Each structure stands twice: as structure tokens, then as C-alpha cells.
Amino acid sequence: MTKPRKPTSFRLEEVEVVETPLPPPAIATDAAQLPATVRALPALERGWRWGSILLAAVGGLVGLASAMWLHDLVREMMARQDWIGWTTIGLLGLAILALLMIILREAAGLARLGRLGRLRHEADTAAIEGDKTLALDVVSRLKRLYHGRKDLAWGLARLKEHEGDIMDAAEILRLSERTLVAPLDPLARRIVAASAKRVSVVTAVSPGALIDMLFVAGENLRMLRRLATLYGARPGTLSLLKLARMVVTHIVLTGGIALGDDVIQQLVGYGLTAKLSARLGEGLFNGALTTRIGLAAIDVCRPLPYIEVQRPRFRDLVAEVAGLR
């Protein structure tokens, strides 16, 4: 029989706690051992696109055929009468000159549109980071952009008076916005409201959907051109199409897809759904759509972000278009 053990007392200080280190977790080094969600994707090499090759080949064929046709035309005209041939050469040179001027105009329009975007982005960066050097550079380029405009002569003079003042980056940008950009904002708002009213009236009384679509598209492009010109872009055809794409992208990224819900809430809030016919309601909806596009275009074309000036509200402009304010 085992003899029972007597209870033993001991101190806690005498107890030695031994920590057994855990083995490091096994790290899978083989790609086959990794789960499918963390395996590295294979690098995709971009090669020649067949669509680009097709367009380049077709463009080359069209250019070669045009050159041969013009060569044969000039030779035929010269064979008939010398003066007819030289007249043909003169008209051909005039056409080439006009084409070059159109290309230069489009390139300049694209450059001006890109300049506005860069100014807005760098001004936003300077305001967030407090970079005074970048803010001064933005203001300098903004003054060059608006140099010679009579409607902004007062603002340019005020900026020149404050050139020697001690200000931080935020104060510099606020002063520039207040003196150069803020005077243009009410004009931009009136442009958007006028276009939205025209769209509302015309689509409410037009007889067909095709006419509505064509008028809405034309009026919106006209509004985009006027807004871009107001803020200093003066777009051509290609830059206007690029601006339209930028506006659509801006609407999508800023939640403008919920336009229908906003408009419905706006109409219900003012009690108009029970007062308007379906046709008038459609016209008001198209006007609200034009308003949304106009506000997005202001955000895209504005050379400075909203720092001190409050962004125009969609609800207020819709109420103005509907004649409620």
C-alpha cells in the first residue's frame, strides 16, 4: 500500500515558469500548396491588338488611295489646261492648309482642357498638403490662363495687389478662387439653368421621341462648350467629345446614377406629380438630367476645387428650372 503524501507548502517566487517556444508556422513556398485565392496571377503580356492593326491598315490604304487619286486628278487637269491644273493645285493646297489648321485647333483644345484638369488637381494637392510653392505655381498659371480677359480684369488686379502679402497655401488658393473663379460661377449656373429650361420646354411639346433625343443631345453639347469656354478651355470637336466622356465618368463616380431617385424625390417634395401631365413630367425630367450634366461639367471645367465657395446644389437648380424659385 502506497503511503499517502503529505501536503507541502511552497512560495510562488520559487516556481520557475518555463515557456516552450512554439514552432514557426510552415510557410508554403510552392505555388501548388497555396490556396487559389492567394496564388499569383500570371503576367499578361500585351501584344499587338488585331483591331489596331486593322484600323492602321485600312487607314494606310485609304491614305494611299487618296494620294493616288489626287495625283491622277492633278495630272488630268494639267493635261487639259494649265490654268485648270494650277487652280486644282491651289485648291488642294488650301484644303491641306485648312486641314492642318483644324488639327492644330483640336490639339490646342485638348491641351487647354488638360490644363484645367492639372490646375485643379495640383490646387487640391497644395490645399491638402499645405504646399505654398505649389499653390503659388498654380496661381501663376491661372493668371496666365485668364490674362487679357476683360471680365476678370478686376480679379487679376486684386491678385497683383496681394503678391507681396504673407499667406499660406490655403489663403493663397482662397484668394485666387474668390477673385478669379468665383465671379464665373454665377454665369455657369445661369448657362446650366437656361439649357435645362430649354430642354424641359422643347421635350414637353415636341411630337416625337427622336426629336427629343436629338435636341437634348445637341443642347447638352452646346452647354458643355459654353461652360468650357467660360472657364478657359475653348474646346474643339475632339476636346468637346473628350469633355463629354469626362462628364459622364464624373457623374458615374460621384453617384449621379441615382438621378432618377433624386428627381422623383424632388417632384414629390414639391407636390408636382399630381399636377403635371405625363408629357410635362417627362420634360421636367429631361431638364433635371441636363442640370445634372451641367453641374458635373462645372466640376470638370473649373480650374480650382471648391475651397471657399459652396458647390451649387442640384435640388436648388431643379427648383429653379421648374419655376419654383
Matching residue, cell 448657362: 191
**What DSSP line would sit under 130-181, residue for residue?**
T-HHHHHHHHHHHHHHTTT-GGGHHHHHHHHHTTTS---HHHHHHHHIIIII
pLDDT (0 to 100) of residue 36: 40
> What is the average pLDDT value for the chain, to the nearest integer?
78
Give how far Cα 98 sits from Cα of 60, 65, 93, 102, 236, Å: 21, 21, 9, 6, 14
Read off the pLDDT of residues 285-296 as tens digits, 9 standing for 90 and up. Answer: 888 888 889 999
Give the lowest-confidence range in 31-35, 60-64, 197-201, 310-314. Answer: 31-35
pLDDT (0 to 100) of residue 319: 78
Report the predicted TM-score, pTM, of the whole model to 2 decimal places: 0.70
pLDDT band for position 325 (cuts 50, 70, 90): low
- For residue 56, pLDDT over 70 is answered with yes
pLDDT band for position 163 (cuts 50, 70, 90): confident
Cβ pair 186, 307 in contact under 8 A: no
- For residue 29, pLDDT over 50 is answered with no
Read off the pLDDT of residues 103-124 as tens digits, 9 standing for 90 and up. Answer: 998 888 888 888 888 999 999 8
pLDDT band for position 267 (cuts 50, 70, 90): low
Read off the pLDDT of residues 250-266 as tens digits, 9 standing for 90 and up. Answer: 887 766 545 544 554 55
Give how far Cα 134 sits from Cα of 13, 54, 117, 164, 180, Å: 65, 45, 15, 17, 18
The Cα–Cα gap between 282 and 213 comes to 12
The cell numbers describing 289, all together, are 438630367
Helix, strand, coil tally for the chain in percent (to 5): 70, 0, 30
The cell numbers describing 299, all together, are 466640376
pLDDT (0 to 100) of residue 46: 52
- For residue 11, pLDDT over 70 is answered with no
The Cα–Cα gap between 307 and 178 comes to 9
pLDDT (0 to 100) of residue 276: 53
pLDDT band for position 12 (cuts 50, 70, 90): very low
